[in-house]
Amino acid sequence: MRFKFLLLVLSFIICVKVCAQDEEFKKISKKNNRDARWTAGLALGITPLPDNKLSLLPGIEYFISDKFSVYSEIALQLDKNYHADSSVLNKKYFRYKAELRYYFFISDIPTYPFVGFQFTTSRRKFDIEKPGKYYERNQQDSAWFFDNAKVSSPFIAASLQLGVTKRLVEELFMETSIGYGLKFVNTEYSQVNNLRKDKEHGFFNFKPLASYRYIGKKTQSHFTFFIRLCYRF
């Protein structure tokens, strides 16, 4: 009986030891073999529509090698804004972002700097149900006024990114990046009611910064700032 008990205890210790070695091997393999590693993350952003509500940014990253990865992300608007008392209705926004990244070094330290080239494409539409106005780029002192209209203002953008990924706990990371590039916007106003052109009056009539307030094609600077939480598999 005592022999059987000792044999059972010994078997249990061996099993625990083997399991521990197996887990350690998995961890080492996971660190050294980044070819098949994925990262899934989530962040919040600003929707580039009137009222600037929040958007949800789910994204995934795939490591092609130990230094190169491809990151993909979509933006989903959180506020559709169909309320009758709002001046802008039927908001529709969707954005896709792809980025090729290069990590300067990968080691056991918890911080990984990277540089990336980012490409973004987006569609956005909304209806203006109350009197408003839009501008032409070559007209400095006048604007087009209307009672209501439908707006379509898709854009594409390209930028160079600098960022760093920092380990928080185990496989949980926080990623931060900044970037600069160009944005190409093409805005159309359709089904415009009571359109008329008039000069703006007053000393403090500053033109808005939003690109969808200018009809036609427009090229502008594109600045980015990004923070997200992600988990590596």
Q: Which residue has the higher pLDDT, 38 or 2?
A: 38
Q: Are residues 90 and 164 in the same domain?
A: yes
Task: Say how many residues make up the chain.
Answer: 233
Residues 48 and 130 in one domain: yes
| 45-97 confidence digits (pLDDT tens) | 988 988 888 899 999 999 998 889 999 999 988 876 655 556 788 889 999 99
Residues 27 and 125 in one domain: no
92 and 146, same domain (yes or no)? yes
Residues 21 and 43 in one domain: no
CA pair distance 168, 171, nearest whole angstrom: 8
**Which residues are CB-contacts of 31 (< 8 A; sequence separation ≥ 6)?**
108
Q: Which of 48, 125, 62 is nearest to 98 (CA)?
A: 62
Position 31 scores a pLDDT of 47
pLDDT computed for residue 84 by the predictor = 53
**Res. 176: pLDDT tops 60:** yes
Q: Does residue 28 sit in the same domain as residue 41?
A: no
Q: Choose the most confident range, by mean pLDDT, from 95-109, 134-148, 176-190, 193-207.
A: 176-190
Residue 119 and residue 174 share a domain: yes
Instruction: Say if residue 224 is in the same domain as residue 166.
Output: yes
Kindly report each contact of residues 132-136 with a partner whose C-beta sits within 8 Å and lies 24 or more positions away, as own/partner: 132/87, 133/213, 134/187, 134/189, 134/213, 134/214, 134/215, 135/207, 135/213, 135/214, 135/215, 136/214, 136/215, 136/216
Strand segments (E) across 14-147: 38-46, 54-63, 68-77, 88-103, 111-128, 132-134, 142-146
Query: Using one digit for the tens of pLDDT, what is the confidence trace for 153-175?
Result: 999 999 999 999 998 988 899 99
Which residues, listed in sequence order, are joined to residue 156 by a DSSP beta bridge? Answer: 121, 184
- Which amino acid would we find at residue 40? A
Residues 170 and 141 in one domain: yes
Q: What is the CATH number of the domain that holds 183?
A: 2.40.160.20
- Count up the domains in the chain and report the number: 2
pLDDT score at 37: 83
Q: Percent of the chain beyond pLDDT 90?
A: 52
Residues 144 and 174 in one domain: yes
In this structure, the answer to whether residues 209 and 118 fall within a common structural domain is yes
Contact call for residues 39 and 61 (beta carbons, < 8 A): yes
User: What would the pLDDT profile of 6-43 be if each residue is shown by its tens digit?
Assistant: 444 444 444 444 444 444 434 444 444 444 489 999 99
The pLDDT of residue 13 is 43
Per-residue model confidence as pLDDT tens digits over 199-232? 776 556 677 788 899 999 989 999 999 999 999 8
pLDDT given for residue 198 in this prediction: 83
Q: State which residues form the domain around 174.
A: 35-232
Both 107 and 124 in one domain: the answer is: yes
